[in-house]
Structure formats: C-alpha cells, structure tokens
Structure 1
C-alpha cells in the first residue's frame, strides 16, 4: 500500500462496506463501488480485513483493562447528522470538549476523535471517542459524565440528534425535553403503561424520569 501504490499512511482512509441483497444485487453493488473507487485512486482491499476488524470487538475488554492501569478513562458516544453539517458538528464538539476539559482543570489534554460509522443518502452516523488522564482526579466517572454532557449539548446545538442507535438511557434523559414535545412524551408514557403496567422492563427504575410509577407512587415525567 505504501511502497508500491504510494499511499500516504497519514492521509489515507479505509472504508468497510457490507453489500446486501440477492447475488445479482450484491454483484452489481460491488462492481459499481469498485469502479468509483478506481476512478478516484482507490484500491479494493478484499473481505479479509473487514472480517479481521471485528476481532477488535472481542479484544476491547483487554485493551480497556490495560488503559485503566495507566489512568486512562474513556468511552464512546454517537449521533446522527445531515451531511451538510457533519464537519461543522465534529469541529464544534471537539472544541467544546477541549474547553470543558480546561475549565474543569483536568490533568493533561483530552484525547478526542471521531469517525463515520454508517452513511445514508441524507446524513451520517458519527461516533466520538473521548478519553482523559485521570490520575489524581477525585471522581473520574463524574468528570467524564460532565464532559460528555457538554459534548451532547454541543451536538444538539450543531444539528445532531440525541442518539443514533444507542438510545437515550439514563445518561441522556436530561435532554428529552429538548427533543420531544410533551405530546410525544405522553405517547411514550402511555405505550409503556399499556405494555408494561408492572414496570417489569425497568426493575427498580421507577424513580428514574420517564418510568411508569407503581400504584400509589408519583410518576415522574420523561
């Protein structure tokens, strides 16, 4: 790739593509993509690297433990955004994280990067990876949560969504009022009440905003 084809490892990029459909549809998609890639100086890499990439999924737990030993705390989060605002969103979120890290007087410099994980005709799914050096920090988990919360504020202000596929969960519930109307939240509550009146799908979570409260308790709005 570098010696024969002359690719610059500091500028090159790699895309993993999955073709779906009938055998004829997949063959057509692959021929079309190869032609586009060759036209722009790209090179088909075959299926082996894509398959090998998923081995990282199984190795992440071991990498995580090693990172913890060196006082690194890290996590990922995602959003979706129209193509027209993708680069702006990335730059704004990166800058917001850097400013928040400095404001909170955390040690060192934050590590922040992102990538496009899914692409559509109207927009992209964007993953962010955030890490910082936690030695000497009294509550690293709380500090990380504060950094991600600031990043999520900037994501929404930049035209991104509250989530792409990870859902809202407890960590993003503070933003529900910004993305869902009261009518939409009422619909969600009523669907939850109809399908799970005993709150079996959220055991011990009846104190969390948005959960259906058992009889005799006050329900908190999502």
Structure 2
C-alpha cells in the first residue's frame, strides 16, 4: 500500500524543494516578490498540538464496519484521521499548519473488494453516516473535506487496497482496473504487459484512477491520450441503490450518458470501484523538445496551428514571459560550456532573430510513436514553429522537464515555510478567446495584488491543446501584507482570478474540479438550470445526503 502524504504538506516526508542548487532563484524571488527564501521563518504546528477530537462512532456502526471490512481495516488512529480530513489546497495547508482542524473523519475504512465497499455503504446508510471516498488525498479544490457543521458520523473510505489491473483486452486495447490504484503502480502493471494509459497529471505519484475519474482529471500527455473523460470507457460504482455498471462499448445511444454523470461527480453519486480504460502499446520512441518563441502571442498562435494540423504531439506547452523567466531562474548551477552556449544563444536571438529577451517564451512539445512517425511529426511541427518565429533548442530542456514534472507542488510548502502563499488556477476556453482571457486574468491578478498592497507574481502556461481550444494554467505567489492574514488575502487574489475566468467566457476549472473551492462560480459557468439539474441528480440518487455532501452544488 502506498505511503500516505505528509499531514501538513505535499508528498512524502523527507522530500522537499530546495533553492540551494539553484543559484539564481533566491535573487529572482527577492527581486520579484520581495521575499528572502534563504531562511525558513515559519513551520507547521506540532501534531501533538492539533487537538484531534475523539471519534464519534456509535457502537452498532463500528460493529457493522468491522464486519464489513475486518477489524484491522477500520482505523480510528488520530494521524490516519487527520490525513484523511482534507486535501492539499493552499487553504488546506494554511489551516492545517495553524492547527485549525476541520470536522475530522471518525473512522478510516480500507475495503479490499467491491462487496466490502457495498457493505460499508450499506452500514453507513443504515446508521445515517456520511461517506467520503478517498483516493490519494491530492485534491486542491476541497473535494474530500467533511462539512464543518456535520454532526453525523463521518467515514473516509480509502480505496488503496483495490489496486490491481484485473485484465487487459489486447484486441480492444481496454484494461479493467480497480479504482484505488495509484498512478505509478498502474503504469508499472500496464507496462509489464507492454501497455500504457498515458495519463500523467501533476499529482500522478499521489493520486488514483478513481480520483482522476471523480474529478475529470487531465494529464500532461492528454493531447495524445485524451483526458480521463476520454480514456474512461466503462465503470462500476457502488451506489445507495446497488452497483451501477456502465459497459465499455465504444459508443451508445442510451439516453443521457450515465458515464458522463459519474465523471466529475466527486463521490456525490457513489463510490467508484472499477473502470475499464483505453490503453495503448508503449511507444517505440518518446521525446520532448524545447522551443523558444519571441512572444506568448506567437507561441499561442503556433499551438493553435498545430492543433488544427494533421500533427498529433503528445505534449504542447508554452509558458508566458513571467513563467519563462521563473523557469530559467530555477536552473541548477551551469557548467562553463552551458554559460558560453547560453550567451551565444542570447546573442543569436537578439541579433539574428530580433527577440526581446524579456518577452521570450519557453515551450515544450512532445512526440511519441515509431521512429518514422516521430521524425515526420517533428519535421512538420518544426515548420509551424518556424512560421511563428520559434526556434528549437533541443532535447536537454525537455529531459529536465520530464524529470521534474511531478515536483512542482513541493514549492508551495517551501514558500509557506518562508511566509508566502502560492497557488494555481486553471481554465479552458476556445482558441479565439485565449489571448483575451490571458490578458484579463493577468490584469485581475495584478489588480488584486495592488488592492492588498503586496508584491505578487503571476505567471501562466498553455498546458493542453484541443481541436477547439486550450487550457491556460496560472500560478501566483505573494507574501502577505504586514499584519495581514494570509488566508484572507489569498482569497482576494484567488477570487479575482476565478471571476476573470467566468467573466471572459472561460470555465471555472479545466481539471481541478469544483469541490467547495469553485462552487460559488458554478451557476455562472453552467447556468441556473444546469445547477438545478445537478442538484436533482444528487438528491435523487442520495436523498439522505450521505455521499460527500456539500461538494459541487
């Protein structure tokens, strides 16, 4: 069973972000947000000081749960309960570090079969308990926290024992997989038989298949493999009225899509126990190349043309100028040769290509398939990049990106230790609105910084391309104002950015889900009738509000 993440931060104990091997980073952050990162100034509360409340687990319910999964798989351990009490949003981290506990689950259950999941849900319904499915706990949208006002027993159903690939149909390229499997284990089991699902979200090492489905996750290679909504073909879900089965047929005309209702449902409709997902043969060749563009607008135009072309990269990513400058500042100590090459490249870009280095943007484009296919894709995409003033700078940046792609969330803990808040907001919109959304969100974020009187930093990248549009992924960081409350000031910035999304025709989230963090913008996104439809669906499925109440609607 995978090791649980830290109760106070992202990832595993002993793994953390450091600036010490990045000689430019401290000066960059001092200049951009006025923060000294060379010394930690804050730390989480001690676990002993949290004051974890005693569990409220009626004897009859406890007996039923132990009968359902076995006494050894019913945990009332304080640390286990705290780990399962909330996700890893910046709000979660700030509150946990302050020893501000929410309503903590009264027990953590670890069923090992679908029948045991059904028995747990039956016991919960009989005793009017709240059930919250738990994958890896990586949610940053408030999707797994019990409502603070909840007085009923709260049960966290940890799915980590359901972690196997059950069968692969090689002809159909479909795999039956238990929902509790973590990303690395899933790819290891598939890879042993020559397949991959190709789904690699930032949270890959600490999230599960069931969690991806429940939040409509997207991965770094979704350009080629699709989002989890595209990948998921069949489902088994334990609901209050029995086990829901969605057959993995390629398409169907059976009324409104039940599969789509489950996707993104965040535990409101039941507990996902199994999915049938599309898989592909492991590619013979895989490479990610680095590119430079003279401006973000040029990079966006190139990505739009690539999406409209016959070429199918696995990754299309381009950072705006602020994110590019941050990326360069996180480079490790360079050799003399690297320095010479970098200076030579800068001279070439300025004199021969006419780049303004302050506006220059870094991009990554990935290719997979047979050597012949990759060669043809690289050549064709290269022509498009060239038409927009772009330049390929080789595989080295792509190798570094590939190695570090799952490390970014650790930076939030690092900054919190130094008294600053950092978070992300992502959205999607049609190609025709992309530049306008970027401009509006940038203005809104900087307006919020000015309102608070803080020195903040806001950066963005295009992370996923589609036929009709793309995802823009924003990251922001700031130290609070003198005497200011970090959480209250964070809300000002976060709300300004999210409001700019919906005001400009973008969605409230591309892949981080609704949870409680984004619920206030739901009606502006899907309209009042849409909210009523969802409410009716949840109320009809779960009239007692036992299944993860308070999320989405």
Per the normalisation by structure 1, the TM-score is 0.74
State how 1:67-82 maps to structure 2 within 5 Å: 67-82=415-430
Secondary structure of residue in 1 paired with 2:523: helix
Q: Structure 1 stretch 38-47 or stretch 176-185: which is displaced more? A: 38-47
- The verdict on how the C-alpha distance between 1:2 and 1:154 changes in structure 2, with shifts beyond 3 A counting, is same
* CA deviation after TM superposition for structure 1 residue 154, in Å: 1.6
User: In the alignment, is residue 171 of structure 1 matched against residue 517 of structure 2?
Assistant: yes
- The verdict on how the C-alpha distance between 1:99 and 1:135 changes in structure 2, with shifts beyond 3 A counting, is closer
Query: Which residue, out of 361, 371, 377, partners 1:29?
Result: 377
Q: What is aligned with 2:344?
A: 3
- The verdict on how the C-alpha distance between 1:200 and 1:40 changes in structure 2, with shifts beyond 3 A counting, is same
Secondary structure of residue in 2 paired with 1:131: strand
Query: Which residue, out of 375, 389, 397, partners 1:49?
Result: 397
* CA deviation after TM superposition for structure 1 residue 68, in Å: 2.4
- The verdict on how the C-alpha distance between 1:191 and 1:21 changes in structure 2, with shifts beyond 3 A counting, is farther
Q: Which runs of 5 or more structure 1 residues have no equivalent in the other structure?
A: 211-221
Q: Is the 8 A contact 1:107 1:133 kept in 2?
A: no
Q: What is aligned with 1:92?
A: 440
Q: What is aligned with 1:162?
A: 508
Q: What is aligned with 2:487?
A: 141
* CA deviation after TM superposition for structure 1 residue 140, in Å: 0.6
Q: Counterparts of 2:544 and 2:446 in 1: how far apart (Å)?
A: 44
Q: Counterparts of 2:453 and 2:417 in 1: how far apart (Å)?
A: 16
Q: Counterparts of 1:148 and 1:63 in 2: how far apart (Å)?
A: 18
- The verdict on how the C-alpha distance between 1:194 and 1:51 changes in structure 2, with shifts beyond 3 A counting, is farther
Q: What is aligned with 2:466?
A: 120
Q: Counterparts of 1:41 and 1:182 in 2: how far apart (Å)?
A: 44
Q: Deviations over 1:107-160 (max 9, x none)?
A: 432211222112234222111111111263442122212221122112211221
Query: Which residue, out of 132, 141, 153, partners 2:499?
Result: 153
Q: Is the 8 A contact 1:71 1:135 kept in 2?
A: no
Q: Structure 1 stretch 123-132 or stretch 30-39: which is displaced more? A: 30-39
- The verdict on how the C-alpha distance between 1:93 and 1:20 changes in structure 2, with shifts beyond 3 A counting, is same
Q: Is the 8 A contact 2:412 2:423 kept in 1?
A: no
Q: Is the 8 A contact 2:424 2:473 kept in 1?
A: yes
Q: How many residues end up aligned between the 2 structures?
A: 205
- The verdict on how the C-alpha distance between 1:43 and 1:111 changes in structure 2, with shifts beyond 3 A counting, is closer
RMSD of the TM alignment (CA)? Answer: 3.0
Q: Is the 8 A contact 1:34 1:44 kept in 2?
A: yes
Q: Is the 8 A contact 2:514 2:551 kept in 1?
A: no
Q: Which runs of 5 or more structure 2 residues have no equivalent in the other structure?
A: 1-341, 351-356
* CA deviation after TM superposition for structure 1 residue 75, in Å: 0.5
Q: Counterparts of 2:409 and 2:427 in 1: how far apart (Å)?
A: 23
Q: Counterparts of 2:422 and 2:410 in 1: how far apart (Å)?
A: 14
Q: Is the 8 A contact 2:421 2:478 kept in 1?
A: yes
Q: Counterparts of 1:20 and 1:187 in 2: how far apart (Å)?
A: 41
* CA deviation after TM superposition for structure 1 residue 164, in Å: 1.1
